[in-house]
Amino acid sequence: MVDETKDISKQEQLFIVVRYLHKQSLHEVFLDFTAAEGLDADSLLNKILETLAKCGIDHNACIGQCYDGATVMSGHISGIQERFRRKVPQAVYVHCYAHRLNLVLVDCVHNIQAAAEFFVAIQILYKFFSMSVVHEEFIKVQKELNPHKAAHRVEATDTRWTFQHAACLAVKRTLPAIVTTLKRLMEGDNAHTATEAKGLCILLDQQFVTILMAMEKVLLMTKQLSNHLQSHDLQLASAEDLMQSVMSGLTEMRTEAAWKELEEAAEELCKVVGIRTETERPGRQRSAPRHLDEFIITSSTGQRDGAIPDARRRTFYAIIDRMLNELSRRFSSDACNVLMGAAALNPKHITFLNKNALSGMAANYGVAEGDLAVKVHQLTRLIARKGDNGLEVSTPLELAAMLEPYKDAFIDLYKIVCIAVTLPVTSAAYERSFSCLKLLKTYLRNSSGNNCTSNLAVISINSRRAKQLNIDAIIDTFAANHQNRRIVLK
C-alpha cells in the first residue's frame, strides 16, 4: 500500500505499508517514507522496489497492491499498478474502498443541484459564524436556550465527504440558536453583519431543513461504513458485506413511509425554530370550471393530488438513486475475478465455495482448476462435519484458522484463503502515518535528514513493538560493533 504527501518543506514523501498474515493474525506495518525524486510512474515504482529490497521483502511474493485513484497510481496503461503487474502478474490492484466511497459522495453532491446548493449554504454559515463577534453571540444564545448543555459550533470540512455528517449534525443540533442569533444580528447596529444575517435567514427555509434531515440520515450510514473501512484487520469479503448492507439501507429509505417520517421531522423542527412551512402559507383557492357548473364532479379536473412532490422526487429520491447507482458501479465485484473469488471464500456470502466464482482467483494465483474442484468438495464435507461438532465458521479468517491444521491436504485452497484474507481493502494505514510525519518533521527537525526522521517514524508508529525491545541488548550490540565511542572535542 503506497501513497505520497508533502512534508513541512513541501517535499513529496512516499509512504509504504505492507499487509501480511502471521500466526492467523493480520498485520499492517509501516516500512519507510522516502523522498520522491520524481512523481512519474517510473521514479515512484523504483522507490517502491528499493524500499522493499532494503527491508528484505521479495516483491515477487506480493499478492496485491492498494492505492488511491490518482492516474499515476491506478492507470491501466502506464500507471504504477500496471507496471508493477508486469513484474509481478499475480499482484492484483485494489482501488481503496474509502477513496471510492468518497468519490461516490462527491459525485452525488455535485450532480444534484439541491444538494450542491445545500452544502454551499453550510459553508456560508460556517464562515459567517466563524467571525469572532458572531461566534460570541452564538455561544451566548446557546447558553440561554440550553443552560445545562455544552455549547456547539458550526462545523465544516473539505477533506472527506464522509465527515460532512459532523457538519450536518452540528447545524441540526444548533439550528434554534442559529436562527435566534441571525434575528438578533439583523436588529444590530452593524449594517454589514445585519445584511449578511438577512441573506442567511432567507437561505434557512423549509427546503433547507428537509435536505438537512435527509443528508444527515444518509451521511450517517456512509460515516459508519467509513469508520469500518479504516479498521486495520478488515478483510475484502467483510468490506463487500458492509457495502451491500449500506445499499440495502438506502433502498429501504426510498419509500413513501420514510419520506413522510422525514417530512414530519423537518416540519417539527421548522416549528421549533420559527421557520414558516408550506402548510402555514395560504394556498390558492381552486374552483371548478364554469362549463361544469350544472354537473356533479366525482373526480379531479387536472389537479395532481396523487403526484410525488418535487422535494421528494427531485431531491430525496434523486440523492438516494444517484448514490445507489454510483455504489453499484464503483463497488461491483464483477470488475475483477479475484474480488469475486474473495467473496466466494466468505462463509456468509451467497457464492460461498462456488467453483465458478473461485476459478478466476485460482487461475490468477496458479492453482489448477481440476485440483480446486476436488478440494472444494472435500472442504464442504469438512465444514459440515465441524458444524455437527459445534464449530461454526463465519469469516474467512476463521476459515483460514480451521484449515491451518489441514494445510498440507488443502495446500492450494489454504493458499487462496490466506490470500483472500490478506488482500488490502483501504489505504487507511499509510494515511494514519501522515499524522506521524506532521508530528515528527517539524521546522526544528527538518534539517536532520530523511533517514533519521524515517527511523523515528518507524519507532513511533510501531510503538507497541518498540516497547517490547530489550534496550540492554541493543546497547550491548552497539558497543560490540562500535569500539571507539568517544566524542572528539576540538
The pLDDT value recorded for residue 467 is: 87
Is the predicted pLDDT of residue 333 greater than 60, yes or no?
Answer: no
Is the predicted pLDDT of residue 479 greater than 90, yes or no?
Answer: no
| Domain residue spans of the chain | 2-96+426-474, 103-276+310-329, 334-422
The pLDDT value recorded for residue 84 is: 93
- For domain 2-96+426-474, give its CATH number from 1.10.155, 3.30.420, 2.30.30, 3.40.50: 3.30.420
The pLDDT value recorded for residue 62 is: 92
- What would the pLDDT profile of 73-84 be if each residue is shown by its tens digit? 888 888 899 999
Q: Write out the chain in H/E/C secondary structure.
A: CEEEEECCCCCEEEEEEEEEEECCEEEEEEEEEEECCCCCHHHHHHHHHHHHHHCCCCHHHCCEEEECCCHHHHCCCCCHHHHHHHHCCCCEEEECHHHHHHHHHHHHHHHCHHHHHHHHHHHHHHHHHCCHHHHHHHHHHHHHHCCCCCCCCCCCCCCCHHHHHHHHHHHHHHHHHHHHHHHHHHCCCCHHHHHHHHHHHHHCCHHHHHHHHHHHHHHHHHHHHHHHHCCCCCCHHHHHHHHHHHHHHHHHHCCHHHHHHHHHHHHHHHHHHCCCCHHHCCCCCCCCCHHHCCCCCCCCCCCCCCCCCHHHHHHHHHHHHHHHHHHHHHCCHHHCHHHHHHHHCCCCCCCCCCHHHHHHHHHHCCCCHHHHHHHHHHHHHHHHHHHHCCCCCCCHHHHHHHHHHHCCCCHHHHHHHHHHHHCCCCCHHHHHHHHHHHHHCCCCCHHHCHHHHHHHHHHHHCHHHHHCCCHHHHHHHHHHHCCCCCCCCC
* 343 grid coordinates: 467473496
Q: In this structure, are residues 121 and 203 in contact, taking their beta carbons and an 8 Å threshold?
A: yes
Q: In this structure, are residues 116 and 110 in contact, taking their beta carbons and an 8 Å threshold?
A: yes
Chain-centroid distance, C-alpha 267: 32
User: How many Å apart are CA 208 and CA 58, to the nearest integer?
Assistant: 56
Is the predicted pLDDT of residue 462 greater than 70, yes or no?
Answer: yes
- What would the pLDDT profile of 100-127 be if each residue is shown by its tens digit? 888 888 888 788 888 888 888 888 998 8
Burial level of 440, CB count in 10 A (0-12/13-18/19+)? buried
Mean pLDDT, all residues of the chain: 81
> 426 pLDDT band (50/70/90 cuts)?
confident
Cα→Cα distances 425→28, 106, 429, Å? 12, 20, 10
Is the predicted pLDDT of residue 13 greater than 60, yes or no?
Answer: yes
Picking from 212-216, 395-399, 427-431, which range would have the lowest pLDDT averaged per residue?
Answer: 427-431
> 303 pLDDT band (50/70/90 cuts)?
very low
User: How many Å apart are CA 25 and CA 338, to the nearest integer?
Assistant: 22
Q: In this structure, are residues 33 and 15 in contact, taking their beta carbons and an 8 Å threshold?
A: yes
User: How many Å apart are CA 157 and CA 249, to the nearest integer?
Assistant: 25
Q: Which amino acid is at 191?
A: A
Is the predicted pLDDT of residue 231 greater than 70, yes or no?
Answer: no
Most confident of 147-151, 241-245, 293-297, 334-338: 241-245
Residues 202-208 have a mean pLDDT of 87
The pLDDT value recorded for residue 234 is: 66
pTM for this model (two decimals) = 0.68
Q: In this structure, are residues 333 and 339 in contact, taking their beta carbons and an 8 Å threshold?
A: yes
Q: In the chain, what percentage of residues exceed pLDDT 90?
A: 7
> 305 pLDDT band (50/70/90 cuts)?
very low
User: Which has the higher per-residue pLDDT, 286 or 398?
Assistant: 398
Residue 130: name the closest of 198, 57, 196 by CA. Answer: 196
> 281 pLDDT band (50/70/90 cuts)?
low
> 398 pLDDT band (50/70/90 cuts)?
confident
Chain-centroid distance, C-alpha 15: 19
Is the predicted pLDDT of residue 170 greater than 90, yes or no?
Answer: no
Q: In this structure, are residues 258 and 252 in contact, taking their beta carbons and an 8 Å threshold?
A: yes
